[in-house]
Amino acid sequence: MAKYGSDDCGFMLLGGFSMLGASTKFTEVPTLKTAEATSLGEADEVIWSAGTKQRELTQDGWFDDAVGSLHNAMYDLAAVQLPMSIAPHGNTNGAAFDGWSSIGRLEYKVQLTSADLTKAAAKYQSAGVQRQGIIVHALGTEVAAGNTDTLDVMLTAGANPAGTNGGAIFTHVTAVGGTAAPTSVTFSLRHSTDGVTYADKAASYTTIAAANIPASSSDYQTFTGTINKYASVAWTYTGGTAPTVTFFVGVYVAP
C-alpha cells in the first residue's frame, strides 16, 4: 500500500483561498450525532443515534498574510460557507482528492508573529457532505479557453460507465490575471466512452466573476445519471485581454 507524507499534499483550497501553510497540521474529527432517549422506569441510560455525522476540522501552523492565504480567509470570519478540497496524494490529474461540499469558518486564533510568518490556528465545521473524488484538472494556470480532452482522466479501471447514479463536481479558482482579467469563467464537465469523442455532461455548471476572487470563487455542483469512464473539463472566458486563470476541477462518482 502506498504511503503519503505531509510533503505529498498538493493543495488545500477553501473557496478561492489557498490554505496550505509554511508548515501546518490538519485534523478531521467525525462525530456521530446522538441524543438521550431513556424512558421512565429504565435503570440505564439509553442513547439514540440520529444516523448523521458532524465533522469538525482544525488546522494550525505557520502562515504568511498574503492575499488569498489562510489569514485572509479567516480573519473576518465571514458567515458564508464554502467548498473545500484537499489533495493528499499530490496535485496531479487522476490522483484522488478529498472534498467537502460546504465548510463553515468557526474560529481563528493568531498566536504570535515572527518575521514574515504568523503562528495561527483555525477551526472549521462541515455543513455538508464529504466525498473522495478524482482530480480532472490539477490546480494550474491556463492562458486561453480550452479543454483537457487530450489529457483525459480515467475515472474507473473497470468497464464503461464509471457510474450510473450521478455524482458531484468541485471547482476552485484561486487567481485571475492577464493584461486585463476576464469578467467571468465558465466550466463544463465532459465525458466519453472511449477517450476520443467527448460530450458535455454538465454544461456551464458554474460561472465565476473575476471580482469575486478569491472569496466565493468556488462551486460544488451535483449531477445525475450516467457518467462515462473518461472525463475532461472545458473552460471559456468572458472578456479580458491575454487572460490567465488558475483553477482546479475534481469529480466525485456516486457508487
The cell for 77 is 470570519
Q: Does position 2 have pLDDT exceeding 60, yes or no? A: no
pTM for the complete prediction?
0.84
Note the pLDDT tens digit of each residue in 132-180.
999 999 999 999 899 999 999 999 999 999 999 999 999 999 888 888 8
CA distance 6 to 24: 9
Task: Report yes or no on 186 lying in a domain.
Answer: yes
Domain finish residue from 130, 160, 177: 130
Instruction: Give me the phi and psi of 149, to 5 degrees please.
Output: -55, -35
User: What is the number of domains present in the chain?
Assistant: 2
**Spacing of C-alpha 177 from chain mean position:** 21
Give the amino acid at 143: V
Q: Over range 54-71, report the average pLDDT.
A: 77
Say if residue 115 is in the same domain as residue 27: yes
How far apart CA 232 and CA 153 sit, in angstroms, is 6
Verify that 14 and 114 share a domain, yes or no: yes
Same structural domain for residues 126 and 166? Answer: no
C-alpha distance across the termini of the chain, in Å: 23
Mean pLDDT of the chain: 84
Query: Do residues 221 and 109 share a domain?
Result: no
Q: Which CATH number do you get for residue 195?
A: 2.60.120
Q: Which of 108, 130, 152 is the last residue of a domain?
A: 130
Task: Decide if 175 contacts 68 (C-beta within 8 A).
Answer: yes
Q: Last residue of some domain: 95, 130, 165? A: 130
Among 26, 27, 123, 8, residue whose Cα is nearest residue 73: 123
Question: Which cell numbers hold the place of 202?
Answer: 454538465
How much of the chain, in percent, has pLDDT values that exceed 70? 88
Please check whether residues 111 and 161 belong to one and the same domain. Answer: no
Query: Measuring CA to CA, which residue among 15, 29, 27 is closest to residue 70?
Result: 15
DSSP 41: T
247 lies in a domain?
yes
Domain CATH for 75: 2.40.30
Does residue 195 form part of some domain? yes
Are 126 and 31 contained in the same domain? yes
DSSP code string of 97-135: EEEEEEEEEEEEEEEEEETTEEEEEEEEEE-S-EEEEEE
What range defines the domain where residue 99 resides?
Answer: 6-35+51-130
Sequence-separated (6 or more) residues with CB below 8 Å from residue 219: 83, 169, 170, 171, 205, 206, 208
Measured between alpha carbons, how far is 148 from 146 in angstroms, rounded to an integer?
7
Tally the residues of the chain.
Answer: 255
pLDDT in tens, 105-118: 888 888 877 767 78
The Cα–Cα gap between 198 and 204 comes to: 15
Whether 41 is in a domain gets the answer: no
115 shares a domain with 63 = yes
